[in-house]
Structure 1
């Protein structure tokens, strides 16, 4: 199980973050710890809540989410997970499941059917996209449903290889998390044929 830590770093007052979970281009070594948890989205929420404070309340510090014990590109022994970017993936509409809103996420997500959007999006862009797509799915009785995948910043691993023809191949492995946007629920599972079985859970973003 991955362990996530929210660390605090000093930042320049003139730095303008693009989002509440942004990270400076060359972040200095962390000197304080705010939280440590196995719940990824709990760590992200804690960091965002801290960063949304005023400069004086933060005392010139900024919160960053990282994974403990995983080598990163910036800090030894810590892999920087924020800022998050998002992708949209489609899943089969679960049998017997009925959404109450286009932001609902079923509990039985186990595998995506395919990636709709290869480009990484901001949270606001991803939210607007799934809201529009899922509203269409509800209106047209589609067999597909769309979910948000949160993509961590630094890869878990990165491999570069070269072949005799002089071509370079880079393979990056990144950890993804299915995110349930604020305002959404889990829909109605009362007619699910497998409702007596345990479901996987999606975490709120």
Structure 2
């Protein structure tokens, strides 16, 4: 099981973050840590709350989320996961499931049907896209539903190869997570054919 640690590093004096989960360039080794979480989003929220409290002040201690025991490009034994970026993916609309809002994510998500954008989005951009697509899906009785996929910052592996023609191929593998927007819930499963199963134990 992954363990996500919220660590504190120091920011440059003139650094302006793009968001509360941003990471300063070339951050020095962590000074201390604030806590550990088994859930990535809980760790990110803890880091955001810390950074919100110090933003605009003289305190340069900035919180960053890392995965413990995983080699990264910046720190030994810690792979930096923030800032998160997002993509939108389509899934099959589960049989018998009904959304309450366009931000709902069914518990039985098991396979995406392909990413819509290759471009990485901010949280707000992804949220707006999810809302628009799912509202359209509701209005038109679509067979597809759309979810937000959170992409971690540093890859878990990276390989570079060259072919005889002199072309370089770089392959990076990153962890992804299905995000549950705070604005939504899990929808209505009361008409699901498998409603007798305990879907609350289903993980991403």
- TM-score bin (small chain): over 0.9
| Matched-pair contact (CA < 8 Å) for 1:4–1:36 | yes
Q: Does 1:107 align with 2:79?
A: no
Equivalences for 1:112-151 in 2 at 5 Å?
112-151=112-151
- Tell me, what secondary structure is at the counterpart of 1:117? coil
Structure-2 residue corresponding to 1:80:
80
Displacement over 4 Å in runs of 4+: 55-58
- Distance in 2 (alpha carbons) for counterparts of 1:124 and 1:52: 17
Larger CA deviation: 124-133 vs 158-167:
158-167
1:14 deviates by: 2.2
Q: What secondary structure does 2:120 align onto? A: strand
Contact 2:23 2:64 in 1 (8 A): yes
Scaled by the length of structure 1, the TM-score of the pair is 0.95
Shift of 1:98: 0.3
Say whether 1:30 aligns with 2:35: no
Task: List alignment gaps of at least 5 residues for structure 1.
Answer: none
Higher strand share: 1
TM-score normalised by the chain length of structure 2: 0.95
Is 1:154 matched with 2:185? Answer: no
Q: Which runs of 5+ in 2 are unaligned?
A: none
For these two proteins, the number of residue pairs brought into alignment is 202
What do you get for the CA RMSD once the two structures are aligned? Answer: 1.4
Please state how far the C-alpha of 1:56 moved relative to its aligned partner.
7.8
* Cα distance in structure 2, aligned partners of 1:136 and 1:56: 40
1:9 aligns with 2:43: no
The 3 A distance-change label for structure 1 pair 55 and 183 is closer
